[in-house]
Amino acid sequence: METRIQSKAFQELSQAAETLVNPAIQDWKGQGSKVVGYFCSAMPEEVITAAGLLPFRMRATGSTGTDLSDTYFSSINCSFPRHCFNIALQGGFDFLDGVVCMNSCDNVRRIYDNWKRQLPTTLVHIMSLPRKTGEPQVEWFRDEVANLKQLLEKHFDIEITDERLWYAIKLHNETRRLQRKLYDLRKADNPPITGTEALAVTVAGTAMPKERYNQLLRELLNELSESPGNADYRARLLLMGGILDDPAYVKVIESQGGLVVTDSLCFGSRMLWNDIDEGASDPIAALAQYYVADRPSCPRMFGDYERRIGLVRDMIRDFKVDGVILERLAFCDHWGFEQFTIENDLKDDNVPCLIMDREYIMSGVGQLRTRVQAFLETMGR
């Protein structure tokens, strides 16, 4: 990645974001340790860590087409699962020792069906995530987390004790706190890190052991605290949407003079905005409470819109945001409706808003540049 950050820590983090099998995963596998892939930021990855396994957030980095997966998905399916399953059919995920899916949406739900039938992965599991954030739904998901724990114990012949779960929870909470410090740096008038670079850092956190990631992030934070900030921008932007794991998309936006200072993304703030309760009596209950009710939700969760738009308004104030870009993967039903509602509410708040549909892999770059440039001209500094 082209960057002005002169940091070995950032170089290692950006490399992890640009590839699927990065050196950290290669080292992990070389030691005989196992990797379990998972979909959705609502996945309780702490259970995988507590099992002594490496949780790997599924993405299709490097995909160039969907020729193989188009046999199993229609052309009106979201392009994210099509690219992911295409890589799987090509053998690109053969380093995984298991896959845990989630009913996050119907498109991702289909990955589970096809993966289980077409690929030899010995562990393929799906978790049922509720669609509301109330107490009954938390109780439901507690059973789902307990089932996952038992499945991993049986399949990998290990014991996941409460002590190991609490260690994993504290480790992942440390990751979230460090990532929030990175976001706090972006509140400055001249942030020392761009949105492109920040997304690379958060994506890297889903693809390497947390101990190593936390060490690198601490080093990066120390270096950024003494780094000159970015002052050459026309507007401060908030980027909002679902799955976005490609820093190149943000780079196109920032190449036109916008600076993405915060986000509401599945590979961004929804992973890190608050912590799991370390004072709870039961680690599994604490995980269920966090992933269903406490963390920032996405549009698949019914009845939680006011909290979502409230968080966006808080970010607009705290990060001094000039405008909001809503990006949506084509054929994403959840975000299709949510964008319309958010756009109307932001219009009432006199906050400029741009809606952008996109495919999973970069396409139509010229059109993206043109639309972003026109958008910035309506608010530029």
Q: Could you give the 3-state DSSP secondary structure of residue 244?
A: coil
Q: Residue 90 has which token pair?
A: 């090509």
Rounded to 5 degrees, what are φ and ψ at 355? -105, 130
CA–CA distance, 50 with 149 (Å, rounded to integer): 9
The residues near 284 (Cβ < 8 Å, ≥ 6 apart) are: 142, 145, 146, 149, 165
Number of domains in the chain: 1
Residue 377 scores a pLDDT above 70: yes
Domain assignment present for 54: yes
Beta strand 35-38 pairing with 98-102: parallel
Task: Quote the pLDDT of residue 1.
Answer: 56
CA 17 to chain centre: 11
Q: What is the pLDDT of residues 87-102, one digit of tens each?
A: 999 999 999 999 999 9
117: CATH: 3.40.50.11890
The confidence score (pLDDT) of residue 332 equals 84
Q: Tell me the average pLDDT across 309-322.
A: 97
CB atoms inside a 10 Å sphere around CB 174 = 17
Instruction: Report CA-CA distances (Å) from 243 to 60, 87, 155, 212, 266.
Output: 11, 17, 30, 24, 5
Please report the DSSP string for 4-36 in residue order: S---HHHHHHHHHHH-SS-HHHHHHHHTT--EE
> Tokens for 189?
């008038």
This prediction has a pTM of 0.95
The tokens for 281 are 């009596």
Which residue in this structure is represented by tokens 């993206």?
368
Q: How many other C-beta atoms are found inside a 10 Å radius of the C-beta of residue 280?
A: 15
Token couple for 197? 């670079």
**In this structure, what token pair is assigned to residue 14?**
């950006």
Within-domain flag for 276:
no
Contacting residues for 136 by C-beta, under 8 A, at least 6 apart:
none
The mean pLDDT of the chain is 94
pLDDT of 53-68, one tens digit each? Answer: 999 999 999 999 999 9
| Pairwise CA distance, residues 381 & 376, whole Å | 9
- Is 53 inside any structural domain? yes
Task: Please tell me the distance from the alpha carbon of residue 38 to that of residue 49, in angstroms, as a whole number.
Answer: 12
Give the pLDDT confidence of 159-206 residue by residue, as tens digits. Answer: 999 999 999 999 999 999 999 999 999 999 999 999 999 999 999 999
Q: Is residue 47 part of a domain?
A: yes
CA distance 286 to 278: 8
- Distance (Å, rounded) from C-alpha 111 to C-alpha 121? 13
DSSP 229: P
Does 42 map to a domain? yes
Inform me whether the pLDDT recorded for 250 exceeds 60.
yes
Tell me: the pLDDT tens digits for 104-140? Answer: 888 888 999 999 999 999 999 999 999 999 999 999 9
Q: Is residue 198 part of a domain?
A: no
Would you state the pLDDT for residue 380? 58
> What are the structure tokens assigned to 297, written together?
């939700």
Q: For residues 216 and 7, what is the distance between their CA atoms, to the nearest angstrom?
A: 10
Residue 15 has a pLDDT of 93
Domain assignment of residue 75, given as a range: 22-163
Phi and psi at residue 185, in whole multiples of 5°? -60, -25
| 3 state SS for 156-215 | HCCCCCHHHHHHHHHHHHHHHHHHHHHHHHCCCCCCCCCHHHHHHHHHHCCCCCHHHHHH
Q: Which pLDDT score is estimated for 362?
A: 83
pLDDT computed for residue 9 by the predictor: 92
Does the residue 94 lie in any domain? Answer: yes
Please give the span between the terminal C-alpha atoms of the chain, in angstroms, as a whole number: 27
Task: Identify which of 205, 203, 169 has the alpha carbon closest to the alpha carbon of residue 289.
Answer: 169
Q: Is residue 44 part of a domain?
A: yes
Task: Using alpha carbons only, give the angle 172, 160, 38 rounded to the nearest 5 degrees.
Answer: 55
